[in-house]
Every structure is written in C-alpha cells, then in structure tokens.
Amino acid sequence: MNVMLKRAYELPSETDGQRILVDRLWPRGVAKAKARIDLWLKDVAPSTELRQWFGHDPDKWPEFKKRYRDELKNNPALSELQELSRHGDITLIYGARNQSNNEAVVLKEILDGNSRHE
C-alpha cells in the first residue's frame, strides 16, 4: 500500500486514497468541504509543546524528529494510522509550508518501515 504526502492547500485527486489530516489544528483558510478529508487524526500530531518548540526551524529538525518519535511510541493513534495504511493507499495531509520538515514526513518514514533517526 502507498503512503503519500500532500499539503492541505493542494487539490484532492482520485489517486489520494484515504485522505488523513495529521495536524492538531485545522489548516488556516481551508474549507472543510473542499479539503475532502476522510479522517482527522489529530491525536497523532505532535504535542502543542513540541510543535511550538520546533516552530519549523530547520536547525531543530533532527531533534524534533527524535522527540516526536518518542511521543509516538505509545500513541494509539499511530497504531490506528498503521492499520489504515495496511488496507489501502493513504495520503497524509498537513498544513506546513515546509514540505520536507514536518510531522507527516516523520509519519511516512514510520509507515514505510524506515526507523532511522537523522
């Protein structure tokens, strides 16, 4: 099964499979009807404290990944996401501008079986 990533501001497509929003906050300016989100799994998102600490600072990316993975270790929402990924294509939807340093990237690595820490 494929795990894909897409910003919430990009148009949905037929190839997205199940669209799962993985942000704790709804993306600003995105209409719920247009977003076509199948599931909003906010409990899999980083804690508010971690998100605010990170602030999408590229210099904090390696430490963010480590801390976020630690948060996910006993998170039932991650188990739910893993189960969903076993049953069909999914697209992890996120709102961050930075397409390479955000929680969806970390989740995709985990779902793809890549447990490396950078």
Q: Is the pLDDT of residue 115 over 60?
A: no
Q: How far apart are the first and last CA of the chain?
A: 25
The predicted model gives 80-85 an average pLDDT of 95
Mean residue pLDDT of the chain comes to: 93
How much of the chain, in percent, has pLDDT values that exceed 70? 96
Residue 52: exposure state from Cβ atoms within 10 A (0-12, 13-18, ≥19) = exposed
Q: Is the pLDDT of residue 118 over 50?
A: no
Q: Is the pLDDT of residue 116 over 80?
A: no
114 pLDDT band, cuts 50/70/90, is low
pTM given for the model: 0.92
